[in-house]
Amino acid sequence: MSIDIETAARVAKLARIKVESEDLPALAQSFNDILGFIEQLNEVDVEGVEPMVSVTPMRLKRRTDGVTDGDMQDKVLANAPDAREGFFAVPKVVE
């Protein structure tokens, strides 16, 4: 499997990371280096093996479905790059 420039651009788009077109060939190359390394996994016989979901065989704890905190709008917004009137502000989303 070899990654071309078009695929590299598509992956960057999916990851929502802007990559300048002149940087795409180098990016594709480093994907290929890493994926070439990962290809070794194809040597392993995984027939009938369950993919690991949890490394420790334990049941995840359930908690009561109740409100345990809240009323901290100021704290929630304290680190926002742009917050106005109690909301996160972003560029226009709907035309």
Binding site for another protein (CB under 8 A): 3, 7-8, 11-12, 14-19, 27, 30-31, 33-35, 37-44, 46, 49-56, 58, 60-61, 63, 72, 75-76, 78-82, 88, 90-93
Please, what is the minimum distance in Å from the beta carbon of residue 5 to another protein? 13
**What values do phi and psi take at 66, rounded to 5?**
-135, 160
Please, what is the minimum distance in Å from the beta carbon of residue 56 to another protein? 5
Contact, 3 vs 12, CB < 8 A? no
Gap between the Cα atoms of 39 and 50, Å rounded? 20
> What sections of 15-60 are H helices per DSSP?
24-38
Which lies closer to another protein via its Cβ, residue 40 or residue 86? 40
